[in-house]
Amino acid sequence: MCQDKNHEQQGFTQKAQDHASGVSTASAELIAELVTANHILYDQGVLDAFGHVSVRHNQYPDRFVLARNMAPGLVQAEDIVEFDIDGNPFNAAGRAIYLERFIHGEIYKARPDVMAVVHSHSPSVVPFSVSKTSTLRATCHMAGFIGTSTPVFEIRHYAGDTNSLLITNNELGHGLAQSLGERSLVLMRGHGSTVVADSLRRAVYRAVYTELNAQIQAAAQQLGEVTFLSEGEVTETVRVIETQVTRAWDFWSIKAGATAKALAEQKSQLV
């Protein structure tokens, strides 16, 4: 399709012109927190060489920060790039940037309450994005945020049936944000999922438990008929259990820090 060819020309270049300022205004604290989020999501098996996590700028709500195009487990502070809400970088300085950065900007545009976005291909979730009979839904108490069903973004509705399945421009990102609506999670057919929250730590928690809930739900459905969380349980579990997010973050960050250190040492030996 002609439209998809445009996506290729825009997206596969992977490089974009920086804003004239050429500098990031994000604080060292925000950047450090995002580096930790990258390491946790890799260490917890949510991100591998692909997938990404962003956080909205805490001073300029129409900007966000996201790593340059690289494996999340290897991200360091100098790899974090600031973007405007349309996905244009401030300080990429010619470095490659993620093809699917439009996921982040379009969700921040559509959802003023969202402060962080995780996009992943975590493997247990993908089957629910293609199943015609099972919807991913809250199966255990840690995953109430999933609710009693999950929307699935069908890219063919926007890009026809010849497409890369990737969100390579703002139009597709807008479509994804529409599918997400007011929810915390949207699946992307044959591709992965995107989860959002009002804080980076909560978004990381939700990304980890989206994958775990998918494993648990698939295992339960193998056994036969399943009792899922009710609407009331969904509301109550989120209200009570998501007050405990910091415990998970503190533990996961210690474990992920050790993994990231070992990876960085191995990388430096290769260079």
Please give the Cα distance from 107 to 175 (Å, whole number): 10
User: Which residues lie below 8 Å from residue 59, measured CB to CB, with a gap of 6+?
Assistant: 25, 27
Please give the Cα distance from 146 to 174 (Å, whole number): 21
Please give the Cα distance from 263 to 271 (Å, whole number): 13
- The arrangement of strands across the sheet holding 63-67 comes to 80-84, 63-67, 52-56, 116-120, 192-197, 185-188, 152-153
H or E element: which one contains 76? Answer: none
Token code pair at residue 209: 């438990």
For the chain, the 3-state helix, strand and coil shares in percent, each to the nearest 5, are: 50, 10, 40
CA 134 → CA 70, 140, 177, 197, distances in Å? 33, 16, 22, 24
The C-alpha angle with vertex 108 and arms to 38 and 82, in degrees rounded to 5, equals 55
Instruction: Give how far the C-alpha of residue 133 lies from the chain's centroid of Cα atoms, to the nearest Å.
Output: 25
Is 171 a catalytic site residue?
A: no
Q: Which of 33, 82, 100, 211 is catalytic?
A: 100
Give the residue numbers annotated as catalytic, written as ranges.
100
